[in-house]
Structure 1
Amino acid sequence: MACLGADDGAGPVTWRLPLLTRRTAIASAGLTSLGLATSLPASPSPAPDPSPKWRRGLDNQRIADLGDGRFLNPVLSGDRPDPAILKDGDDYYLTFSSFESYPGLLIWHSRDLVNWHPRKPALTRNIGSVWAVSLEKHKGRYFIYIPVKASPQNDTFVIWADHIDGPWSDPVPLSLHRHIDPCHAVGEDGSRWLFLSGGDRVRLSDDGMRVTGEVEHVYDPWRYPDEWDVEGFAPEGPKIHRIGQWFYMLTAVGGTAGPPTGHMVIAARSRSIHGPWEQHPGNPLVRTTDIREAWWSRGHASLVQAPDKSWWSLYHGFENGYWTLGRQCLLDPVEFTPDGWFRMTGGDLSAPIAKPDGGTALPHGMALSDDFSTLAIGTKWSFFRPDPDEATRARVADNTLYFKGKGLAPSTGSPLLVTAGDTSYRFECDIELAPGGTAGLVLFYDDKLYAGLGFDAERFVTHQYGIERGRPVNPHGDRMRIRVTNRQHIVSFHTSGDGGKTWAKFDRGMEVSGYHHNVRGGFLMLRPGLYAAGPGEAKFRDFRFTALDD
């Protein structure tokens, strides 16, 4: 179940795994310079074993499944925030906040909770910035409840489908303007509810398509000690699960970013969907306490039962030193105790963990390289903050992407972007200009913060800090191949006028570790992509992505 469908009759099943030894990760120089390294408690630990290594998959991207019965987090790397999980028989479906990327709400599929394969996006029309959703199945129909930040006002929408691959309905507004992070829940009496941020809830109609009452306050979340370093109280992301005779509510508090020690997971329980709610005596269940830990700002958790009936939790976290990769999807084993409570047992998630038994491993992930034989928008590629007719800008023919120019630069051009989940990678593409046009490759956070290299027929254009800077002479004319290398935030550019046979290093390097939410806001990640500006259609051929070993 995601937040809650109906009771599957399974009582708590104990899954015992010893707590893992914490890895002593190196704190970033940026945190040290901010004084955070000395303000947080340092946990004593023995000399660590050598850091475990991920297996490598498509495009050399890291994958969690180690092939020996264990996995190493993250189970889905890159920006996968606010995971919404649905157990549907032997299948698991997962989606994430997609914010201003469209098509959005890409559905992922698994049969073992570790290996995930993309299916189709559920949301194609831009309705605003999509925050933490609720993915549900009720009486044979799939629902997604979608909180949106938009102008002139925020709202929550619902879409539905009779198959997980759609077609999904048009979004229906619910007129919930002051809350985020809805969670669908079904009471012991069959009533349907949305639990909301701040400990509130609202009644839903029997068909789940409208609210039928006023928002009411039903839960006061557990509060952490005042001396802890957090971003703010911000109770959000409630997830309701009915397991045995209990309703369990997991909530995130402490702020989703800010100090690495801020975000955390708390829990409460009740015999009834109507309360009262009893606080977990072990709160918080998950929290980063030391900046040397592998994962920062961990929170926004759900519970899910694996094929072998063991229990697990999915939540997100920032990789130590890599806010630029966004909040990645983590899997933590759960142990139920005789008193009916539960705890997470994966420690700081830095070490390999035994996979749940059973299930089938699907092919994991997807290649980001693209020969443009098909138009993979919505799975591989997405637009940033698109206009209603944005999809008409892109078409493919003869292994070429024809991309109509828009605006004058990436800031006004709705670039096409992919989600990269490795700390180092390289991407390159053959680019041919339309007369009078400009095109190039970017590392894009949002329209105010990006880096990259573009060109017109006469000059290069250097993109840095979200502005257009140096314009040295372009020796290649209207067609060249550009390569961008991002190695642990150090960015370099190479160009080739002979299709990649020989390369020249461009005389401008960059450092992009500050291109992230704690600097800019927006809850996004730094994403590789391509843009076209000005008149006509730029032609892109042979996009190649390669993750690099650090």
Structure 2
Amino acid sequence: MTPVWRADLGDGTYRNPVLNADWSDPDVVAVGEDFYLTASSFGRAPGLPLLHSRDLVNWSLVGHALDRLAPAADFAAPRHDRGVWAPSLRHADGRFWIFWGDPDHGVYQINAEDVRGPWSEPHLLKSGKGLIDPCPLWDDETGEAYLVHAWAKSRSGVKNRLTGHRMSRDGRTLLDDGKIVVDADRIPGWFTLEGPKLYRHDGWFWILAPAGSVETGWQGAFRARDFFGPYEERVVLAQGRTEVNGPHQGGWVRTAAGEDWFLHFQARGPYGRVVHLQPMAWGADGWPVMGDAGEPVLRHRKPAAPPQPVEAPATDDAFPGGRFGRQWSWTANPRAGWTVEHAGDGLRMACVRTGDAHDLRLLPHVLTQRLPAETFTAEVVLDLAGSEPGARAGLAVLGDAYAWLGLERGADGTVRVAHRFAEHVTEGERDAAHPGPAVPEGGSVRLRVEVSAGARCRFSYDTGDGWRPSGQVFAATPWRWVGALLGLFAAAPEGPGTAGTVTFTDFRITP
């Protein structure tokens, strides 16, 4: 597979973003010569994606650490602004650890001996509302362990401060009531301090944390001789004269060759939060210097590492044996019966009966993946065997507003091409185009969406006689905190019995 976005330029340099998709709130850890990255997954399942690289430029998706979100009842329906916020990934005491904040429940922790699992069940380390962005530290100098986290004002009424705790080394117990270690209300000009990452370097405790909000802020660094402070601060990465707004939270990593690098995200509207890689060094005064004298780079030499093949997280899927690849997630915790495994290729989805079939934003059984680049074309073949009038299935671009193109069975039993959309301020959908041609029983349609700059989406279909455009251009929109998603779905109106199935085959994305 040739990636639709190639960060590795093949001449010893790379371009940003190195991950040109919504890998929100990234954190990274080095283990030997391998690098691992995780990111926010909010209410989607499986959650906590796990990416691997040997050079910080070429990445592959190797799995997920969280099969289902807890409490299960809270994530039976889509919760795009809840769930897994801003995880931290660490390796200590021979284990991988992931801590994350659920703004409605508290700080969770899971761990595993191998990054590919099995991972432990989620452990609620600190319960409470508005506890977000936790990061642990195992201090090898003293043998102590610590935790720092931020606050979400929407849940707690508090923001712009960081709270620290001493923690047991097994990550299961906090050893004190906590103390505010940084109160950014006391720092002139600083607001919305969040996303802390905690480190030990050169005799100092370091907290790397962004402030100033996702779209317009900067990356800060804080240091203190004692974990509980007092901390002094400095801005170490800001947009400056570049086009990289933010630049927002991320993580520092040191390579086996002794080089320092910083991965962070940039908020790009419907494309979500894409990931940039910045060179990093420690200045003569002991403070980190990121990018080009504190401004993001768009192109730079690659980290010193053995040559690696050009790689990006997978997008295409032949659905072998009816199974879908790691790049897909449901919009809520999955239930049995949404898909049917079989011997051949192709994803067989049940036309799930639901009273919410009129609004894809409410459906938990939409299978989604991230927009993989600024411009690309996605195609899939669909066969609708659903027997119930109103049974429908299709290819969607999903956000606060959405559009889909697919097949629908009418009241007379005829299957026709259908194209629908919903504005973000409305409940339910409208026709985006007049009903398309009928498809013979057992026939199929190839669906296409061409995404151009600004996430403007042009839909078209082919029933066997060539491509036909459908409807007006649709401008994709993000969810709250989440970029727009590509989705596959099947649904039917409420009623007794089963409503049949659909089959998707040959999903592929091209530049």
1:265 aligns with 2:219: yes
1:182 aligns with 2:134: yes
**Equivalent of 1:412 in 362, 367, 385:** 362
User: 1:222, CA displacement in angstroms?
Assistant: 8.0
Alpha-carbon distance change, 166 to 255 in structure 1, aligned in 2, over 3 angstroms = same
Q: Equivalents in 2 of 1:366, 1:376: separation in Å?
A: 18
Name the aligned partner's letter for residue 435 of structure 2.
Answer: V
**Equivalent of 2:56 in 113, 118, 125:** 113
Name the aligned partner's letter for residue 304 of structure 1.
Answer: V
**Partner residue of 1:483?**
448
1:469 aligns with 2:430: yes
**Partner residue of 1:158?**
109
Alpha-carbon distance change, 374 to 160 in structure 1, aligned in 2, over 3 angstroms = farther
**Partner residue of 2:11?**
68
Question: Under a length normalisation based on structure 1, what TM-score does the superposition of the two structures give?
Answer: 0.78
Alpha-carbon distance change, 397 to 296 in structure 1, aligned in 2, over 3 angstroms = farther
Matches within 5 A, 1:119-268: 119-127=62-70, 129-149=83-103, 153-177=104-128, 178-187=130-139, 188-197=141-150, 198-221=161-184, 226=189, 233-257=191-215, 262-268=216-222
Q: Equivalents in 2 of 1:509, 1:112: separation in Å?
A: 42
User: 1:60, CA displacement in angstroms?
Assistant: 4.4
User: 1:367, CA displacement in angstroms?
Assistant: 3.4
Name the aligned partner's letter for residue 148 of structure 2.
Answer: F
**Equivalent of 1:80 in 19, 23, 38:** 23
**Equivalent of 1:328 in 266, 274, 287:** 274
Alpha-carbon distance change, 194 to 234 in structure 1, aligned in 2, over 3 angstroms = same
Name the aligned partner's letter for residue 116 of structure 2.
Answer: D
**Partner residue of 1:455?**
407
Tell me if the contact between 1:233 and 1:255 (Cα under 8 Å) persists in the aligned partners: yes
Tell me if the contact between 1:416 and 1:530 (Cα under 8 Å) persists in the aligned partners: yes
Tell me if the contact between 1:59 and 1:367 (Cα under 8 Å) persists in the aligned partners: no
Q: Equivalents in 1 of 2:12, 2:472: separation in Å?
A: 42
Tell me if the contact between 1:403 and 1:537 (Cα under 8 Å) persists in the aligned partners: yes
User: 1:59, CA displacement in angstroms?
Assistant: 4.5
Matches within 5 A, 1:89-104: 89-104=32-47
User: 1:395, CA displacement in angstroms?
Assistant: 3.2
**Partner residue of 1:538?**
502
Runs (5+) with no aligned partner, structure 2? 71-81, 151-160, 411-415, 493-498
Other structure's SS at 1:62 match: coil
Higher alpha-carbon deviation: 216-225 or 452-461: 216-225
**Partner residue of 2:319?**
372
Q: Equivalents in 1 of 2:372, 2:192: separation in Å?
A: 28
The percentage of aligned residue pairs carrying the same residue is 29
Other structure's SS at 2:326 match: coil
Tell me if the contact between 1:286 and 1:299 (Cα under 8 Å) persists in the aligned partners: no
Tell me if the contact between 2:138 and 2:169 (Cα under 8 Å) persists in the aligned partners: no
Tell me if the contact between 2:57 and 2:302 (Cα under 8 Å) persists in the aligned partners: yes
Alpha-carbon distance change, 341 to 394 in structure 1, aligned in 2, over 3 angstroms = farther
Q: Equivalents in 2 of 1:469, 1:512: separation in Å?
A: 16
Matches within 5 A, 1:299-448: 299-318=248-267, 322-346=268-292, 348-349=295-296, 351-361=298-308, 363-374=310-321, 377=324, 379-387=326-334, 389=335, 392-393=338-339, 395-406=341-352, 407=354, 408-409=357-358, 410-413=360-363, 414-433=365-384, 434-436=386-388, 437-445=391-399, 448=400
Q: Equivalents in 1 of 2:93, 2:325: separation in Å?
A: 28
User: 1:358, CA displacement in angstroms?
Assistant: 2.4
Other structure's SS at 2:173 match: coil
Q: Equivalents in 1 of 2:228, 2:94: separation in Å?
A: 25
User: 1:123, CA displacement in angstroms?
Assistant: 0.5
Other structure's SS at 2:437 match: coil
Q: Equivalents in 2 of 1:203, 1:376: separation in Å?
A: 44
Tell me if the contact between 2:317 and 2:324 (Cα under 8 Å) persists in the aligned partners: no
Q: Equivalents in 1 of 2:252, 2:313: separation in Å?
A: 26
What per-residue deviation string (whole Å, max 9, x for no partner) do you get for residues 196-219 of structure 1? 112211222231123232121122
Q: Equivalents in 2 of 1:490, 1:191: separation in Å?
A: 51
User: 1:139, CA displacement in angstroms?
Assistant: 0.9
Name the aligned partner's letter for residue 163 of structure 1.
Answer: D
Tell me if the contact between 1:442 and 1:530 (Cα under 8 Å) persists in the aligned partners: yes
Q: Equivalents in 1 of 2:235, 2:336: separation in Å?
A: 44
1:503 aligns with 2:467: yes
Tell me if the contact between 1:316 and 1:327 (Cα under 8 Å) persists in the aligned partners: yes
User: 1:85, CA displacement in angstroms?
Assistant: 0.7
Tell me if the contact between 1:117 and 1:363 (Cα under 8 Å) persists in the aligned partners: no
Q: Equivalents in 2 of 1:480, 1:421: separation in Å?
A: 23
Q: Equivalents in 2 of 1:99, 1:301: separation in Å?
A: 17
Q: Equivalents in 1 of 2:200, 2:404: separation in Å?
A: 48
Q: Equivalents in 1 of 2:286, 2:322: separation in Å?
A: 50
Alpha-carbon distance change, 400 to 421 in structure 1, aligned in 2, over 3 angstroms = closer
Name the aligned partner's letter for residue 462 of structure 1.
Answer: R
Q: Equivalents in 2 of 1:332, 1:107: separation in Å?
A: 21
Q: Equivalents in 1 of 2:306, 2:98: separation in Å?
A: 25
**Partner residue of 1:526?**
484
Name the aligned partner's letter for residue 134 of structure 1.
Answer: S
User: 1:375, CA displacement in angstroms?
Assistant: 5.5
Alpha-carbon distance change, 104 to 377 in structure 1, aligned in 2, over 3 angstroms = farther
**Partner residue of 2:157?**
none
Runs (5+) with no aligned partner, structure 1? 1-57, 227-231
User: 1:452, CA displacement in angstroms?
Assistant: 1.9
Alpha-carbon distance change, 425 to 221 in structure 1, aligned in 2, over 3 angstroms = same
User: 1:394, CA displacement in angstroms?
Assistant: 5.0
Other structure's SS at 1:441 match: strand
User: 1:223, CA displacement in angstroms?
Assistant: 6.7
Alpha-carbon distance change, 528 to 348 in structure 1, aligned in 2, over 3 angstroms = farther
What per-residue deviation string (whole Å, max 9, x for no partner) do you get for residues 256-278 of structure 1? 23xxxx22111111223343322
What per-residue deviation string (whole Å, max 9, x for no partner) do you get for residues 114-173 of structure 1? 111211110111235211111112210111112113xxx322111111111100111111
